Structure 1
Amino acid sequence: MNVDVLGQTLTEQLEQVLWTARSAGSTLIISRAQHPDAVGWMMREGWVRERLGHLVLTPKGHAHRRACAPY
């Protein structure tokens, strides 16, 4: 199990990153400062890509964001 210094698993980190994405029009942007390991994993899996210097959710990332919705 991959746990960070705050005691969060990778799954918890991913959910936190997905749910704190901010809206910029129809694009969701995530912060590079949040859980670097989780953000790196998301980039390798194709959930996030870089566009104009920002990290934005891909359609695959949007699908996972909806799937982990708490409601």
Structure 2
Amino acid sequence: MAIPGMEHISSNDNVIFNVTPKYKLYSIGAILIATLFGSVLAAGYLITCNYRRLGENAAAKKTFIFAAGVDC
């Protein structure tokens, strides 16, 4: 996966990126609490949000469909 603006850096270059994202992901603890006090669908929604924030839209869609199917 290429980082925008960093195409000129080859895979052999030793570069360390110290970038803080502008979004927060739901922790495993938050997902566990959502499962215990809510449902599998609530946990699936939080995981779906994490995938979308990471740009993994296909995984987000699959996760939500799976969580909705399990929760029925």
TM value normalised by structure 2: 0.30
Computing the radius of gyration from Cα coordinates, the structure with the larger value is 2
Structure having the larger proportion of residues in strand:
1
Structure having the larger proportion of residues in helix:
2
TM value normalised by structure 1: 0.31
